[in-house]
Amino acid sequence: MDNQGQEQRRTFGVEEELLLVDPDSGMPQAVSGAVIRYAREHDAAMPFADGDKQFETELQREQLETGTRPCVSADELAGQIRESRMAAAQAAAGVGAAVAALATSPVAVHPSLTPSRRYRLMAAAYGPTADEQLSCGCHVHVNVDSPDEGVAVLDRIRPWLPPLLALSANSPFWQGHDTGYDSWRQQVWGRWPSTGPTELFGSAKAYRATIDALLETGALLDEGMVYFDARLSRHYPTVEVRVADVCLNADDTVLMAVLIRALVGTAAREWRAGDPPDAVRTDLLRLAMWRASRSGVREDLVDPVTRQPAPARAVVQVLMEHLAPELERSGDLETANRLLEGLLERGNGAMRQRAVYERTGDVREVVADAVRATSPESGA
């Protein structure tokens, strides 16, 4: 395959963190280990899973991480996302639990740490930051040709990440109350010392030097705690974009992946053409991300080009215009437009959660609705 063909069809994959809940009370359940054992013992592997790696534990026992294999087409990715959610729902049901694609728990909870040596060290070092951290994200991996290309991509996608958070926002509730934010997860996640947007790196060598300098401060336990909004994966030849809440609707997860793949392709083309990255200040990016976390797609966002407030739909349109050539090249333009229109018509996950609460007045019903939405095929 020639270089242009490779660019058009970069492989991509998704990791989703799901909340494990009691199907009756909606209370998060500390059963991730039992769910993984049940899946292994009952041969409940997903068709594309790699042995015992079909599910992973996370910081808290109330979480379960699923993942896809690298995919070429949006349809292939959509199928794997739905299969992984269904397999997780079935394994959870085997131990009396359910899965919900919620980025924070609507029901008040004190989470339970996964008993690994690393997580114990994190809890000891970071105190309430780790103790209270029960949030679920969606991480999208997109293949890159080299670390230099990957860092060039990181430098060029920075201004475009806040609208992705706004579209994916799915965490309005915290400890039983509406926070007023569409993505409270982004606020909670920001307590870690290495989260958020980054300065321009300029080269893979400078990126590596930055990571080393962070580790030398002693403020991070290890490189796995470099929680940038977007980073080079330590394990795969990919750029990993980490800004999105886990999406309530699987279609929205596919949309995130399609848009992020187009962002990566667009940035790589700009780099090869010699176009410099936007040197927007990191403090402005932090403000744009806060705005996206606060209001999602309900109100104004910060326009990635003008840096001025603009209606969310207008900002999303600017994003789509930026990505349209790459979406066309990869054959994803029609899919992206269809999925985006569906999301904007019904609202993001935070809007659906609030609608259920306004109708019922019960956060337990918010969780029950999320269980049904997470994996409709499971019959939950």
Count of C-beta atoms within a 10 Å radius of residue 213: 9
Q: What percent of the chain has pLDDT over 90?
A: 92
User: What is the average pLDDT score of the chain?
Assistant: 95
Closest listed residue to residue 43, CA positions, set 90, 112, 6: 90
What is the torsional sign of CA 92, 98, 101, 107?
Answer: negative
pLDDT tens track for 255-304: 999 999 999 999 999 999 999 999 999 999 999 999 999 999 999 999 99
Contact 233, 240 (CB under 8 A): yes
pLDDT at 6 over 50: no
Task: Return the residue matching tokens 């991300």.
Answer: 289
Q: Which pLDDT score, from 0 to 100, does residue 377 have? A: 74
pLDDT tens track for 157-207: 999 999 999 999 999 999 999 999 999 999 999 999 999 999 999 999 999
CA distance 51 to 41: 12
Give Cβ neighbours of residue 81 (< 8 Å, ≥ 6 apart).
14, 16, 68, 250, 253, 254
pLDDT tens track for 79-136: 999 999 999 999 999 999 999 999 999 999 999 999 999 999 999 999 999 999 999 9
pLDDT at 1 over 70: no
Domain 12-378 annotated CATH 3.90.25.10: no
CA distance 192 to 195: 6
Q: What percent of the chain has pLDDT over 70?
A: 94
Count of C-beta atoms within a 10 Å radius of residue 327: 22
pLDDT at 51 over 60: no
Task: Return the residue matching tokens 């080393």.
Answer: 212
